[in-house]
Amino acid sequence: SQTIHQWPATLVQPVGSPLSLECTVEGTSNPNLYWYRQAAGRGLQLLFYSVGIGQISSEVPQNLSASRPQDRQFILSSKKLLLSDSGFYLCAWTKGARDQPQHFGDGTRLSIL
């Protein structure tokens, strides 16, 4: 069966510090991968998605970036965090086809001080 791992579960970072969140999927190949952010009491905001190694599509211009160095690894980064970057970050995967349901990791709760 397929599993998705996302870490860390919680993170407290000062403003201006860098960020690296990692997500890996097991038990499948060629998944589509996604990063979302969910602010408190708000809906899901798609940040990035990837349909293959090295292929990244950005949905929202911001100080975040994403990379996919391996087929089942997706990384969310920032060089300098802003207060507005606080939120619940979720990684998700789908089978490598269109119109597929999303399967979410456990999420990372990021607080910026």
Partner 1 sequence: QKEVEQNSGPLSVPEGAIASLNCTYSDRGSQSFFWYRQYSGKSPELIMFIYSNGDKEDGRFTAQLNKASQYVSLLIRDSQPSDSATYLCAFQSGGSYIPTFGRGTSLIVHP
Q: Which residues bind partner 1 (CB under 8 A)?
A: 32, 42-44, 46, 49, 51, 59, 90, 94, 98-107, 109
State residue 85 phi and psi, 5-degree precision: -80, -5
Nearer Cβ to partner 1 (85/93): 93
Long-range contacts of 63-70 (CB under 8 A, 24+ apart): 64/19, 66/35, 68/33
Q: Compare residues 80 and 94 and give the one whose CB is closer to partner 1.
A: 94
Alpha carbons 46 and 59: distance in angstroms, whole number: 6
Smallest separation, CB 87 to partner 1 (Å): 13
Q: For partner 1, which is the closer residue by CB, 49 or 74?
A: 49
Taking the complex as a whole, how short is the minimal distance between the CB of residue 13 and partner 1, in angstroms? Answer: 19
Tokens of 34: 């996604």
- Bridge partner list, 92: 34, 104
Smallest separation (angstroms) from partner 1 to the CB of 73? 18
Q: Which is nearer to partner 1, 14 or 41 (CB)?
A: 41
Query: Residue type at 34?
Result: Y
